[in-house]
Structure 1
């Protein structure tokens, strides 16, 4: 059996952000429909200046695909010392009927795309319908990806942005305004930025609470992306006390996500978590129920998102006859 090989440029050409949003919705619904087998992911942390590498494995009964992704990040010396990016990813797909390896593809774009799409899916389900202003705490690659995705499902009037690095913040402003024509206001402080938010996005690698509860206005929807390992944190735990809490995976978020912090401080219990987002998409549980509600979507990222997105790319490649075939046997 032949295996398809797709490089980064080919992966980029084979899927749109709108398609990724649809595949992420598909993933969340499958997860809460007993259609997914998804072991806990494994992370290996290497001594500085190296970073971490995560391995995520998932089986989707709906598409009969098994996926495995290796994703690294934080290798800050890579560009200079090894002439490779500081973060990389690879996804392999197996046909679940035979467990034959059918595709190997670059996974670095998929991680960014499906994470951005997860924020957009949460905005559809949980943000106020009249939301217009976004605040971005953190202005790196994923902060941009969130905007690329969210603009597909709503009109963004203005972005208030803050970053600890002034040069990074200035470049974010130039890039977003040039690519999308959305005005970006560079905030002088985190507090100033957060107080303006209809939708608050946090995408840092923070290790302490960057956003204080007193700053978050009634009706805000929070997209918490940066915390996916214990030791990371972006939100003051008190924010969770009076908010509607939605996780992508309760088991992951209560062990490694932002939700772990208020549970660890006994501010909330697991019973205070309103839903997994797939339950809302399936209509099992309600989304936003009133305008003043503060909603939090805590996303740690799931293998099933990689699975459905990579499967769509594979099918698009086969239909378009893009990629290179090779044989192991």
Structure 2
């Protein structure tokens, strides 16, 4: 038996966004139904290198398929400037749950971008108004691209307002999407007034004010992934139908971590988990719903669900580089 090595190009070729969105939705359902195992994300903090490592294992049984694996990922904020490397890099080991054989080693950085966009798309599908045509994006880094790519699969987005401190990042984003959408540079205030808003920044002080947000805007709060990060005005969270991905992770390192730790926000202010909405245990958007917020920290089940899609299509398409990682002679 051979292990399949899949690089960035292989992952992109074999992970069509509609398939990834469907797999991530199935992962949310499996997790909520108790058909998944996802030990807590573990951290190795390296302040001397201005970074950290994170280990994210998971197993899920989605009914027609099951999958297991682990993502080893970092966040080193000096990488681009000092080392000419991405801030975030990941590697996924995708294994056969029946016998533990490592079926694939694949680029986890691209998987992370894809599943993050897909998670926002699942939340948008359940929480945004049906006729959402405008989308605001705050933060035009690498994660912003899959936000638009995924969300436009579930809503008829035609106009996009992108806001970032870097004019170069805004220009690159517009250059990528101007043939598909009406993409405009704008302020955070203009982005927040759109039907759908995705915030993808690493800030620790809120940058989106309550008075800027539309009456029925759906917000994907994607940037907070560590303690102290906080993109949205507390009043937005208090006034919204607030949906999380995982209670432990969001209260520790998600968008709600700061107001939750301060007692400004409590469990009573949380409408439910996205998995509860997917399986029908909690309502998504109704006629009475106003602002909605999805607090996404990123779950290992999303990574493994996406890795499943990539691996299965790579086999079908004969992509990748098979190699002998395990000596199968026993």
TM-score normalised by length of structure 1: 0.92
How many matched pairs?
324
Alignment equivalent of 1:235, drawn from 212, 215, 232:
232
Map of 2:245 onto structure 1:
248
Map of 2:314 onto structure 1:
317
Question: Displacement, 1:78?
Answer: 5.3
Alignment equivalent of 1:200, drawn from 197, 200, 204:
197
Map of 1:73 onto structure 2:
75
Residues 326 and 298 (structure 1), Cα distance of their counterparts in 2 relative to 1, 3 Å cut: same
Map of 1:306 onto structure 2:
303
Matches within 5 A, 1:62-211: 62=62, 63-77=65-79, 81=83, 84-178=85-179, 180=180, 182-187=181-186, 189-194=187-192, 196-211=193-208
Question: Displacement, 1:70?
Answer: 1.1
Residues 279 and 319 (structure 1), Cα distance of their counterparts in 2 relative to 1, 3 Å cut: same
Residues 8 and 220 (structure 1), Cα distance of their counterparts in 2 relative to 1, 3 Å cut: same
Offset from partner CA, 1:140-190 (integer Å, 9 cap, x none): 111111001111122112112211222222332222214x2x112222x32
Question: Displacement, 1:282?
Answer: 0.9
Question: How many angstroms apart in 2 are the aligned matches of 1:264 and 1:322?
Answer: 47
Residue range with higher mean Cα deviation, 28-37 or 247-256:
247-256
SS at match of 1:20: helix
Question: Displacement, 1:50?
Answer: 4.1
Residues 167 and 321 (structure 1), Cα distance of their counterparts in 2 relative to 1, 3 Å cut: closer
Question: How many angstroms apart in 1 are the aligned matches of 2:177 and 2:274?
Answer: 28
Residues 87 and 313 (structure 1), Cα distance of their counterparts in 2 relative to 1, 3 Å cut: same
Question: How many angstroms apart in 2 are the aligned matches of 1:156 and 1:86?
Answer: 29
Q: Is the CA contact (8 Å cut-off) linking 1:49 and 1:77 kept in structure 2?
A: no
Q: Is the CA contact (8 Å cut-off) linking 2:228 and 2:257 kept in structure 1?
A: no
Alignment equivalent of 1:262, drawn from 250, 259, 262:
259
Offset from partner CA, 1:222-241 (integer Å, 9 cap, x none): 10000011021101112111
Residues 5 and 130 (structure 1), Cα distance of their counterparts in 2 relative to 1, 3 Å cut: same
Question: How many angstroms apart in 2 are the aligned matches of 1:204 and 1:40?
Answer: 23
Q: Is the CA contact (8 Å cut-off) linking 1:64 and 1:97 kept in structure 2?
A: no
Structure 1: segments with no counterpart, 5+ residues: none
Residues 59 and 266 (structure 1), Cα distance of their counterparts in 2 relative to 1, 3 Å cut: same
SS at match of 2:207: strand
Residue range with higher mean Cα deviation, 152-161 or 215-224:
152-161
Question: How many angstroms apart in 2 are the aligned matches of 1:109 and 1:203?
Answer: 16
Q: Does 1:40 align with 2:40?
A: yes
Residues 87 and 2 (structure 1), Cα distance of their counterparts in 2 relative to 1, 3 Å cut: same
Structure 2: segments with no counterpart, 5+ residues: none
Question: How many angstroms apart in 1 are the aligned matches of 2:8 and 2:80?
Answer: 18
Question: How many angstroms apart in 2 are the aligned matches of 1:84 and 1:16?
Answer: 26
Question: Displacement, 1:29?
Answer: 0.7
Cα RMSD (Å)? 1.9
SS at match of 2:173: helix
Q: Does 1:277 align with 2:274?
A: yes
SS at match of 2:155: coil
Q: Does 1:294 align with 2:291?
A: yes
Question: How many angstroms apart in 2 are the aligned matches of 1:266 and 1:79?
Answer: 38
Question: Displacement, 1:284?
Answer: 1.1
